Amino acid sequence: MIQAENIEKKYGSFTAVEDISLSIGRGEIVGLLGPNGAGKTTIMKIFTGYHFPTKGKALINNYDVYSDSLKVKESIGYLPEMAPLYNDLTVLEYLLFICDVRKIEKEKRKEEIDRVVAECGLEQVINRPIEKISKGYRQRTGLAQAIIHSPEILILDEPTTGLDPNQIIEIRKLIKKLGEQKTVILSTHILQEVDAVCNKVLILNRGKIVARGTAEEIRREMQGDYRYSIILKASDIGSVKSSIEKINTVNEVLLFETKDNGLIDIKLSVKNDISCGEELFDWAVSNNFKILSMIPEKVSIEDIFIKLTAEGEEK
């Protein structure tokens, strides 16, 4: 279990993380999503005991990261943004070294290494020097070191950064599999990663949580569930906008543009796509407008992210 109670982290007078509370249980994979500088790495470093919060409490399996930092380190597997690998060692030598660091008993080492090699698909590269393996295999080796002591909790900082599309798919599959048994928190600024891997997402901006829930819940909370894109022909353009805003299931007119050919391009945020579809047709017929095309669109996590973090980029 990963918990934070109103944590704050200041670097000097700069507040990097402000009033963050969260709770992540077993079998959950939670994604921290945010633009550069949002505070993702800072939160991860707090949970690993690398940084202490300046206010509030962070707990790993009920151990306080400050007062029980050794217990915390035993309970977690951590993959930092740059996997901590030694290039001149082979994968096997490196994993043996990690067994030493993690104080895994000598007679259990072979069994544990065989397990992580199988789980992370490292069989082909086990005897190769780390400097000669691909980025995907380096990342798998990083994951293998994070799980060699069978931690209940995994903390993964941007685990797919720098990988090619095939490697990304494989690492995501692996994280999902690990997440069935463990508690996982991962950071990312790749929006598709959240949909592909995480059960829940926390969107961070400037050190604060600005949205939380499943990707679906966040979509629903924002601007209704659906959007419609409509192309319309009307002789009385003036009355189109004012009357469309009065339709019950329309939340907001997001775009209203007259094209050179006289057609009107409309984008709407609506509460319910089925009843709104019906109402839009009735509205068009009763006003003598002609709908040339009407396409329902789901609000994407990209749209939400841009809306919530538009002011978040570091200057």
Count residues near ligand ATP (CB under 6 A): 13
160 binds ligand ATP (CB under 6 A): no
Q: Count of CB atoms within 10 A of residue 40's CB?
A: 26
Is residue 83 part of the contact set for ligand ATP (CB under 6 A)? no
Is residue 97 near ligand ATP by the rule CB under 6 A? Answer: no
Q: Assess contact for 223 and 269: CB atoms under 8 A.
A: yes
Least Å distance between CB 7 and ligand ATP?
Answer: 13
Q: What are the φ/ψ torsions at residue 22 (nearest 5 degrees)? A: -160, 160
Q: Which is nearer to ligand ATP, 36 or 242 (CB)?
A: 36
Q: Where are the beta strands (DSSP E) in 136-249?
A: 153-157, 183-188, 200-205, 208-213, 226-233
Cβ atoms of residues 96 and 104 within 8 Å: no
Stretch that binds ligand ATP, among 32-40, 95-103, 160-168, 270-278 (CB under 6 A): 32-40
80 binds ligand ATP (CB under 6 A): no
Q: How would you class 111 by CB atoms within 10 Å of its CB: exposed for 0-12, middle for 13-18, buried for 19 or more?
A: exposed
C-beta separation of 10 from 46 below 8 A: no
Residue 223 has what DSSP assignment? T
Answer yes or no whether residue 16 interacts with ligand ATP by CB under 6 A. yes
Handedness of CA 24, 52, 66, 76 (dihedral sign): positive
Nearest residue (CB) to ligand ATP, 50 versus 256: 50
- Kindly state whether residue 42 participates in binding ligand ATP, applying the rule CB under 6 A: yes
- Which residue's CB is nearer to ligand ATP, number 39 or number 142? 39
CB of 188 vs ligand ATP, minimal distance in Å: 9
Is 162 a binding residue for ligand ATP by CB under 6 A? The answer is no
Q: What angle do CA 40, 44, 48 make, to 5 degrees?
A: 170
Distance between CA atoms of 308 and 221, rounded to whole angstroms?
12
Task: Examine residue 159 and tell whether it contacts ligand ATP (CB under 6 A).
Answer: no
Among 39, 136, 179, 224, binds ligand ATP (CB under 6 A): 39
In this structure, which amino acid lies at residue 77? Answer: G
- Told to check if 36 binds ligand ATP by CB under 6 A, we report yes
Least distance to ligand ATP, CB of residue 110, Å: 37
Q: Does 189 contact ligand ATP by CB under 6 A? A: yes
Residues making contact with ligand ATP (CB under 6 A): 11, 14, 16, 34, 36-42, 189, 314
